[in-house]
Protein backbone atom coordinates (compact mmCIF):
# COMPACT_ATOMS: atom_id res chain seq x y z
CA UNK A 1 0.00 0.00 0.00
CA UNK A 2 2.84 2.38 -0.87
CA UNK A 3 0.44 5.07 -2.09
CA UNK A 4 0.75 8.82 -1.60
CA UNK A 5 -2.89 9.17 -0.65
CA UNK A 6 -5.33 7.22 1.48
CA UNK A 7 -7.96 7.56 -1.26
CA UNK A 8 -5.78 5.74 -3.82
CA UNK A 9 -4.93 3.01 -1.31
CA UNK A 10 -8.57 2.59 -0.31
CA UNK A 11 -9.61 2.39 -3.97
CA UNK A 12 -7.42 -0.72 -4.41
CA UNK A 13 -8.45 -2.23 -1.06
CA UNK A 14 -12.10 -1.91 -2.07
CA UNK A 15 -11.47 -4.20 -5.06
CA UNK A 16 -9.83 -6.94 -2.95
CA UNK A 17 -11.07 -9.38 -0.34
CA UNK A 18 -9.34 -10.39 2.89
CA UNK A 19 -7.97 -13.88 2.39
CA UNK A 20 -6.88 -13.21 -1.19
CA UNK A 21 -3.85 -11.25 0.04
CA UNK A 22 -2.61 -9.21 2.99
CA UNK A 23 -2.08 -5.46 3.13
CA UNK A 24 1.38 -4.08 3.86
CA UNK A 25 1.45 -0.59 5.34
CA UNK A 26 4.89 0.97 5.20
CA UNK A 27 6.51 4.25 6.11
CA UNK A 28 5.00 6.37 3.34
CA UNK A 29 1.32 5.59 3.92
CA UNK A 30 1.71 5.28 7.71
CA UNK A 31 3.38 8.68 7.96
CA UNK A 32 0.51 10.16 5.98
CA UNK A 33 -2.46 8.28 7.39
CA UNK A 34 -1.32 7.00 10.79
CA UNK A 35 -2.54 4.21 13.04
CA UNK A 36 -6.28 4.90 12.60
CA UNK A 37 -6.18 3.67 9.00
CA UNK A 38 -4.40 0.49 10.12
CA UNK A 39 -7.01 -0.08 12.83
CA UNK A 40 -9.83 0.44 10.33
CA UNK A 41 -8.40 -2.16 7.93
CA UNK A 42 -7.85 -4.60 10.81
CA UNK A 43 -11.49 -4.06 11.86
CA UNK A 44 -12.54 -4.80 8.26
CA UNK A 45 -10.89 -8.22 8.56
CA UNK A 46 -7.56 -7.55 6.84
CA UNK A 47 -4.28 -9.11 7.86
CA UNK A 48 -2.05 -6.03 8.00
CA UNK A 49 1.73 -6.23 7.86
CA UNK A 50 3.00 -3.10 9.59
CA UNK A 51 6.31 -2.55 7.83
CA UNK A 52 7.97 0.21 9.84
CA UNK A 53 11.29 -1.64 10.19
CA UNK A 54 11.96 -0.53 13.77
CA UNK A 55 15.68 0.05 14.40
CA UNK A 56 16.57 1.88 17.62
CA UNK A 57 17.75 1.21 21.16
CA UNK A 58 16.10 -1.89 22.68
CA UNK A 59 13.73 0.00 25.01
CA UNK A 60 12.37 2.20 22.22
CA UNK A 61 11.86 -0.72 19.85
CA UNK A 62 10.06 -2.66 22.59
CA UNK A 63 7.63 0.24 23.04
CA UNK A 64 7.07 0.50 19.29
CA UNK A 65 6.39 -3.24 19.06
CA UNK A 66 3.84 -3.01 21.89
CA UNK A 67 2.12 -0.14 20.07
CA UNK A 68 2.04 -2.17 16.84
CA UNK A 69 0.57 -5.17 18.65
CA UNK A 70 -2.12 -2.93 20.18
CA UNK A 71 -3.21 -2.02 16.63
CA UNK A 72 -4.03 -5.67 16.03
CA UNK A 73 -1.67 -6.08 13.08
CA UNK A 74 -0.85 -9.52 11.70
CA UNK A 75 2.89 -8.94 11.29
CA UNK A 76 5.41 -6.31 12.36
CA UNK A 77 9.08 -6.03 11.47
CA UNK A 78 12.31 -4.70 12.94
CA UNK A 79 15.84 -4.41 11.50
CA UNK A 80 18.07 -7.34 12.46
CA UNK A 81 20.93 -4.81 12.25
CA UNK A 82 19.63 -3.51 15.60
CA UNK A 83 21.48 -6.47 17.11
CA UNK A 84 20.77 -9.25 19.62
CA UNK A 85 19.62 -7.08 22.55
CA UNK A 86 17.20 -5.13 20.37
CA UNK A 87 15.80 -8.32 18.83
CA UNK A 88 15.39 -9.86 22.29
CA UNK A 89 13.57 -6.73 23.52
CA UNK A 90 11.22 -6.85 20.54
CA UNK A 91 10.55 -10.52 21.13
CA UNK A 92 9.86 -9.99 24.85
CA UNK A 93 7.55 -7.06 24.08
CA UNK A 94 5.45 -9.18 21.75
CA UNK A 95 5.91 -12.69 23.13
CA UNK A 96 5.07 -11.59 26.68
CA UNK A 97 1.60 -10.36 25.74
CA UNK A 98 -1.50 -12.16 26.88
CA UNK A 99 -3.73 -10.69 24.13
CA UNK A 100 -3.12 -10.50 20.39
CA UNK A 101 0.43 -11.34 19.28
CA UNK A 102 1.56 -10.28 15.81
CA UNK A 103 4.17 -12.26 13.93
CA UNK A 104 7.58 -10.64 14.45
CA UNK A 105 10.05 -10.66 11.55
CA UNK A 106 13.47 -9.07 11.09
CA UNK A 107 14.75 -7.39 7.95
CA UNK A 108 18.14 -8.84 7.10
CA UNK A 109 19.77 -7.10 4.11
CA UNK A 110 17.45 -4.74 2.21
CA UNK A 111 16.62 -6.03 -1.27
CA UNK A 112 17.83 -2.70 -2.68
CA UNK A 113 21.38 -3.58 -1.60
CA UNK A 114 23.96 -5.39 -3.69
CA UNK A 115 27.65 -6.11 -3.11
CA UNK A 116 28.66 -2.52 -3.97
CA UNK A 117 26.30 -0.91 -1.46
CA UNK A 118 27.16 -3.45 1.25
CA UNK A 119 30.84 -2.65 0.75
CA UNK A 120 30.02 1.07 0.90
CA UNK A 121 28.33 0.76 4.32
CA UNK A 122 30.99 -1.65 5.58
CA UNK A 123 28.84 -4.74 6.02
CA UNK A 124 31.21 -7.69 5.71
CA UNK A 125 30.94 -10.35 3.01
CA UNK A 126 28.51 -11.15 0.21
CA UNK A 127 24.82 -10.21 0.63
CA UNK A 128 23.83 -13.86 1.10
CA UNK A 129 26.44 -14.27 3.87
CA UNK A 130 25.22 -11.14 5.66
CA UNK A 131 21.64 -12.47 5.34
CA UNK A 132 22.77 -15.77 6.92
CA UNK A 133 24.49 -13.97 9.82
CA UNK A 134 21.45 -11.77 10.51
CA UNK A 135 19.09 -14.74 10.14
CA UNK A 136 21.18 -16.43 12.85
CA UNK A 137 20.52 -13.48 15.18
CA UNK A 138 16.78 -13.46 14.43
CA UNK A 139 16.55 -17.22 14.97
CA UNK A 140 18.48 -17.09 18.23
CA UNK A 141 16.15 -14.33 19.49
CA UNK A 142 13.10 -16.52 18.75
CA UNK A 143 11.58 -14.39 16.01
CA UNK A 144 9.00 -15.82 13.59
CA UNK A 145 11.06 -15.22 10.46
CA UNK A 146 13.07 -12.81 8.37
CA UNK A 147 12.59 -10.44 5.48
CA UNK A 148 15.14 -11.28 2.81
CA UNK A 149 15.35 -11.51 -0.96
CA UNK A 150 13.89 -14.66 -2.50
CA UNK A 151 17.42 -15.34 -3.75
CA UNK A 152 18.31 -16.19 -0.13
CA UNK A 153 15.07 -18.00 0.82
CA UNK A 154 16.39 -21.54 0.28
CA UNK A 155 19.44 -20.90 2.44
CA UNK A 156 17.30 -19.33 5.19
CA UNK A 157 14.99 -22.37 5.16
CA UNK A 158 17.97 -24.73 5.39
CA UNK A 159 19.41 -22.67 8.22
CA UNK A 160 16.31 -22.01 10.34
CA UNK A 161 13.71 -24.59 9.34
CA UNK A 162 10.46 -24.73 7.42
CA UNK A 163 8.34 -22.96 10.04
CA UNK A 164 10.58 -19.90 10.06
CA UNK A 165 9.00 -17.42 7.61
CA UNK A 166 10.81 -16.13 4.54
CA UNK A 167 9.11 -12.83 3.66
CA UNK A 168 10.44 -11.71 0.31
CA UNK A 169 10.20 -8.25 -1.28
CA UNK A 170 12.02 -7.59 -4.55
CA UNK A 171 9.44 -9.69 -6.39
CA UNK A 172 8.97 -8.70 -10.00
CA UNK A 173 6.53 -10.39 -12.42
CA UNK A 174 8.31 -11.08 -15.71
CA UNK A 175 8.56 -7.93 -17.82
CA UNK A 176 7.99 -5.43 -15.00
CA UNK A 177 10.51 -2.72 -14.09
CA UNK A 178 13.27 -3.53 -11.61
CA UNK A 179 13.03 -0.01 -10.07
CA UNK A 180 15.46 0.44 -7.16
CA UNK A 181 15.42 -3.27 -6.27
CA UNK A 182 18.68 -5.20 -6.80
CA UNK A 183 18.06 -8.79 -5.64
CA UNK A 184 14.88 -9.81 -7.46
CA UNK A 185 12.99 -12.90 -8.63
CA UNK A 186 9.61 -13.48 -10.31
CA UNK A 187 6.67 -14.70 -8.15
CA UNK A 188 7.04 -18.27 -9.46
CA UNK A 189 10.81 -18.27 -8.92
CA UNK A 190 10.35 -16.86 -5.41
CA UNK A 191 7.86 -19.61 -4.51
CA UNK A 192 10.13 -22.31 -5.94
CA UNK A 193 13.03 -20.86 -3.94
CA UNK A 194 11.03 -21.31 -0.72
CA UNK A 195 9.54 -17.89 0.01
CA UNK A 196 6.55 -18.08 2.36
CA UNK A 197 5.20 -14.54 1.86
CA UNK A 198 5.70 -12.43 -1.27
CA UNK A 199 5.80 -8.64 -1.01
CA UNK A 200 4.85 -6.84 -4.21
CA UNK A 201 4.50 -3.07 -4.41
CA UNK A 202 4.98 -1.00 -7.55
CA UNK A 203 4.17 -3.75 -10.07
CA UNK A 204 0.69 -3.48 -8.50
CA UNK A 205 0.41 0.14 -7.38
CA UNK A 206 1.77 1.59 -10.65
CA UNK A 207 -0.26 -0.72 -12.90
CA UNK A 208 -3.11 0.62 -15.00
CA UNK A 209 -5.32 -2.15 -13.55
CA UNK A 210 -3.94 -3.03 -10.06
CA UNK A 211 -6.60 -5.65 -9.15
CA UNK A 212 -5.82 -7.51 -12.36
CA UNK A 213 -2.11 -7.64 -11.46
CA UNK A 214 -2.93 -8.91 -7.94
CA UNK A 215 -5.05 -11.67 -9.48
CA UNK A 216 -2.42 -12.60 -12.03
CA UNK A 217 0.28 -12.85 -9.32
CA UNK A 218 -2.06 -14.94 -7.13
CA UNK A 219 -2.63 -17.29 -10.10
CA UNK A 220 1.10 -17.58 -10.77
CA UNK A 221 1.64 -18.45 -7.09
CA UNK A 222 -1.22 -20.98 -7.02
CA UNK A 223 0.03 -22.75 -10.17
CA UNK A 224 3.56 -22.93 -8.76
CA UNK A 225 2.34 -24.31 -5.42
CA UNK A 226 0.17 -26.93 -7.18
CA UNK A 227 3.03 -28.01 -9.43
CA UNK A 228 5.27 -28.32 -6.39
CA UNK A 229 2.66 -30.37 -4.48
CA UNK A 230 2.28 -32.71 -7.47
CA UNK A 231 5.96 -33.66 -7.47
O1 LIG B 1 10.51 -4.96 4.88
C2 LIG B 1 10.12 -4.80 3.72
O3 LIG B 1 8.94 -4.95 3.43
C4 LIG B 1 11.13 -4.54 2.69
C5 LIG B 1 12.39 -5.06 2.93
C6 LIG B 1 13.35 -5.08 1.91
O7 LIG B 1 14.44 -5.59 2.07
N8 LIG B 1 13.02 -4.55 0.70
C9 LIG B 1 11.80 -3.97 0.46
O10 LIG B 1 11.57 -3.54 -0.69
N11 LIG B 1 10.87 -3.91 1.46
C12 LIG B 1 9.58 -3.23 1.22
O13 LIG B 1 8.86 -3.96 0.23
C14 LIG B 1 8.18 -3.10 -0.67
C15 LIG B 1 8.67 -3.39 -2.07
O16 LIG B 1 8.06 -2.53 -2.95
P17 LIG B 1 8.26 -2.62 -4.51
O18 LIG B 1 9.72 -2.53 -4.81
O19 LIG B 1 7.50 -1.45 -5.04
O20 LIG B 1 7.69 -3.96 -4.94
C21 LIG B 1 8.44 -1.67 -0.19
O22 LIG B 1 7.35 -1.27 0.60
C23 LIG B 1 9.68 -1.79 0.67
O24 LIG B 1 9.68 -0.84 1.71
In a domain, 95, yes or no: yes
In a domain, 54, yes or no: yes
In a domain, 1, yes or no: no
Q: Which residues contact 58 (CB under 8 A, 6 or more apart)?
A: 82, 85, 86, 88, 89, 90
In a domain, 199, yes or no: yes
Q: How far apart are CA 178 and CA 170, in angstroms?
A: 8
For the Cβ of 51 lying below 6 angstroms from any atom of ligand 1, the answer is yes
Q: For residue 209, give the CATH number of its domain.
A: 3.20.20.70
pLDDT at 19: 87
- Which residue range is the domain that position 149 belongs to? 6-225
Decide: residue 228, CB within 10 A, 0-12 exposed, 13-18 middle, 19+ buried: exposed
**In terms of pLDDT, which residue wins out, 117 or 230?**
117
216 C-alpha to center of ligand 1: Å? 20
pLDDT at 20: 87
Q: How far apart are CA 216 and CA 140, in angstroms?
A: 37
- Which of 176, 181, 119 has its CA nearest to residue 150? 181
In a domain, 29, yes or no: yes
Q: What digits encode the pLDDT tens for the residues 70-122? A: 999 999 999 999 999 999 999 999 998 998 999 999 999 999 999 999 999 99
ipTM associated with this complex: 0.99
170 C-alpha to center of ligand 1: Å? 7
For the Cβ of 168 lying below 6 angstroms from any atom of ligand 1, the answer is no
Query: How many domains is the chain built from?
Result: 1
In a domain, 193, yes or no: yes
Amino acid sequence: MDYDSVEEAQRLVDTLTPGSCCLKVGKSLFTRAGPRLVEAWVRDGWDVFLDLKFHDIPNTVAGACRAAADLGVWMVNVHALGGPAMLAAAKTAIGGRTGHRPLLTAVTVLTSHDQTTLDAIGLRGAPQDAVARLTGLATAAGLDGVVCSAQEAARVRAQSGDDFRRVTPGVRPRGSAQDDQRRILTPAEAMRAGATDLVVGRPVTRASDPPQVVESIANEVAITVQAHAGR
